[in-house]
Chain A
Amino acid sequence: MSNYKEITTNGLWKNNPALVQLLGLCPLLAVTGSFVNALGLGMATMLVLIGSNVVVSLIRNAVSDAVKLPAFVMIIAAFTTCTELLMQAFTYELYQILGIFIPLIVTNCAILGRADAFASKNPILPSAVDGFMMALGFMLVLLAIGGIREIIGNGTLFADMHLIFGTGAESWKLELFGSNYVNFLVAVLPPGAFFVAGLLIAVKNMIDAQIQKRQAALKAKPVKGAKRVRTTGKIA
């Protein structure tokens, strides 16, 4: 499975960790109250996922099956700690907002799942690409949910982006409905995460069903020389 195109479509669409595997739902639902939170956690997850995939792939022939899982968890924990320290150093406010969900990246099943299902069986480069694509797929869903919830819940988009991109990003904030917008709090509260995530999954399934229908219609070309079978009327 070292076909990069397949790895890409798997990560972004076919086997998307958030929409298809439904892994890592805890951070997915908990921190997507705004676009900037989603981006912060998405990038942190990406760093951990690429790092762990590469290292797991490196040691894949050195660890026995018996100690495989503990070893993977140790590697993931090490990368999570690095990410946590980095965020503490460079984006301290965001680090405080995301709080417990950064250390909890260790328990994100999407990461352990990739380590076990892909990185432990493949060479370094495909593993790194797989880590990147899976994390990108995860991050895009995070961003979609975060964006939708921020728009509906606060009437804004890209608020507080300076937490990641420095003071110049303060002006990125868009007020979409003017200042009279009454915040629709349920979107920012936990139920909103379930609503939006459910809707996104439904939309993905709808698109898949459409694609399947179209492909089936294309396949069903009549074969030349085929005869219709008579099913009604008298058979002499």
Chain B
Amino acid sequence: MSLMRPSSPHTHSASSISSTSSVMRTVVLATLPGLIALTHFFGVGSILNLLLAIIFCLGFETLALKLRKKPVLFYLGDYSALVTAILLALAVPPYAPWWLIATGSFFAIVVAKHLYGGLGFNPFNPAMVGYVVLLISFPVEMTQWRIPAIEGLGYLPLLDSLNAIFAGAHLDGFTSATPLDAIKHNQGLTVEDLYATHSAFQSAKIAGTGWEWVNIGFLVGGLYLLYQKVFTWHAPVGMLAALFILPVFFYDGGSSASAGSPFFHLFSGATMLGAFFIITDPVTSATSTLGRLIYGAAIGALVFIIRVWGNYPDAVAFAVLLMNFAAPFIDYYTVPRTYGHERAQSALRKEDEH
């Protein structure tokens, strides 16, 4: 008889919110405000992304499970592939061609997850691996964000959207720099002038047209997850604190060399999506609460460093992957005190005693 070995978390309770599948369902629900904001500003593209990603991710998951001779329905029922699909779809620009999503889904599900042994054994966040592979492979397609609908340009008609996705019609005339691009390539304008003149900041209060609302949407969803105790506050608070404190030193009073205000960094790009939905992944992050605080803060610092001095406008995916590498190292030095011991057993000492 062969026993099933489901991966962590090993909690079993059907009613409350603690089994893997109900956690994943709650996460899916919590992405809704952000998705609504994305759809409001960028049109139906985000929803089409989502549908495509779900089809491809579940398809690849089924295929991988079949090849590994695992019970397909049992593992599909934990909704982890669905969450990966949603996170990937939210990160990819709307109206991206279909093969982009297919490639990203393949790398997320097959390479990053199943080649390493499936859910619970993956050292890297699958959705972020998929995203990074796409970003370094197809820089043109991955940086075409449509102008937010608020700037007088209406939504893309459904037929044109399908054309862009399946027939490769180009959107060139209708895309614009994102706020992060704008501030990165700003030469000679003070932040105040940039906000006043650049299209990416029209009718924006803090962090660029549309983007601030997308981030507020993910913040709302994240707070709901926190309220539901899906994860602890440590990692998100660490990341957001680092991303708030560092810009204080480099804001430069809003001069032309400014790296952007603290609030700009909190509410632009993928900050909130990363802080609440990506770095809180229990498999790839550090384990202890102190470890998670350090892990989150390091991600926040890396995001700021790459955004300001790196080659790419946004950096959440790179920062998350780099810290995924470091998570075991952080765990090694942040072993918590166990009940019955006066102080924490350091990982090093345990090694010596053997």
**A→B interface (CB under 8 Å):** 180, 182-187, 189, 191, 195
B138-A189 in contact (CB<8A): no
Residues of A within 8 A of B168 (CB): 180
Given contacts A182-B141, A195-B111, 5 further A-B contacts (CB under 8 A): A180-B168, A185-B137, A185-B139, A186-B133, A191-B133
Nearest chain A CB to B93's CB is how many angstroms away? 15
A184-B103 in contact (CB<8A): yes
A186-B141 in contact (CB<8A): no
Please provide the chain B residues from 131 to 150 with a CB less than 8 Å away from any CB of chain A in the complex.
133, 136-139, 141
B203-225 CB mask vs A (1 if < 8 Å, else 0) is 00000000000000000000000
Residue of B nearest to A187 (CB): B137
Give Cα A191–Cα B99 distance, bound, in whole angstroms.
20
Residues of B within 8 A of A180 (CB): 168
Residues of B within 8 A of A184 (CB): 103, 137-138
B103-A189 in contact (CB<8A): no
Residues of B within 8 A of A189 (CB): 136-137
Most buried by B among A180, A185, A189: A185
Residue of B nearest to A195 (CB): B111
Residues of B within 8 A of A195 (CB): 111
Nearest chain B CB to A198's CB is how many angstroms away? 9
Total A-B contacts with CB atoms under 8 angstroms apart: 21
21 contacts between A and B (CB under 8 A): A180-B168, A182-B99, A182-B138, A182-B141, A183-B137, A184-B103, A184-B137, A184-B138, A185-B136, A185-B137, A185-B138, A185-B139, A186-B133, A186-B136, A186-B137, A187-B137, A189-B136, A189-B137, A191-B133, A191-B136, A195-B111
Nearest chain A CB to B96's CB is how many angstroms away? 12
Counting contact residues on chain B (CB < 8 A from A), the size range is: 10 to 19
**B→A interface (CB under 8 Å):** 99, 103, 111, 133, 136-139, 141, 168
Residue of A nearest to B100 (CB): A182
Residues of B within 8 A of A186 (CB): 133, 136-137
Most buried by A among B138, B139, B168: B138
Give Cα A184–Cα B141 distance, bound, in whole angstroms.
12
Nearest chain A CB to B165's CB is how many angstroms away? 14
Residue of A nearest to B133 (CB): A186
Nearest chain A CB to B136's CB is how many angstroms away? 6
Give Cα A182–Cα B141 distance, bound, in whole angstroms.
10
Nearest chain A CB to B70's CB is how many angstroms away? 18
Residues of A within 8 A of B138 (CB): 182, 184-185
Q: Which 6 A-B pairs have the closest CB atoms?
A: A186-B137, A185-B137, A184-B137, A186-B133, A186-B136, A185-B136
Give Cα A20–Cα B168 distance, bound, in whole angstroms.
43
Most buried by A among B111, B133, B137, B168: B137
Nearest chain B CB to A84's CB is how many angstroms away? 32
Residue of A nearest to B103 (CB): A184
Nearest chain B CB to A187's CB is how many angstroms away? 8
Most buried by B among A180, A182, A184: A182
Nearest chain A CB to B186's CB is how many angstroms away? 28
Residues of A within 8 A of B139 (CB): 185
Give Cα A182–Cα B111 distance, bound, in whole angstroms.
21
Residue of B nearest to A185 (CB): B137
Give Cα A183–Cα B99 distance, bound, in whole angstroms.
12
Nearest chain B CB to A181's CB is how many angstroms away? 11
Residue of B nearest to A198 (CB): B115
Give Cα A207–Cα B37 distance, bound, in whole angstroms.
51
Residues of A within 8 A of B137 (CB): 183-187, 189
Give Cα A186–Cα B142 distance, bound, in whole angstroms.
14
Residues of B within 8 A of A182 (CB): 99, 138, 141
Residue of A nearest to B111 (CB): A195
Most buried by B among A180, A183, A184, A186: A186
Nearest chain A CB to B1's CB is how many angstroms away? 17
Give Cα A183–Cα B139 distance, bound, in whole angstroms.
10
Give Cα A70–Cα B125 distance, bound, in whole angstroms.
47
Residues of B within 8 A of A191 (CB): 133, 136
Give Cα A186–Cα B100 distance, bound, in whole angstroms.
13
Nearest chain A CB to B2's CB is how many angstroms away? 20
Residue of A nearest to B140 (CB): A182
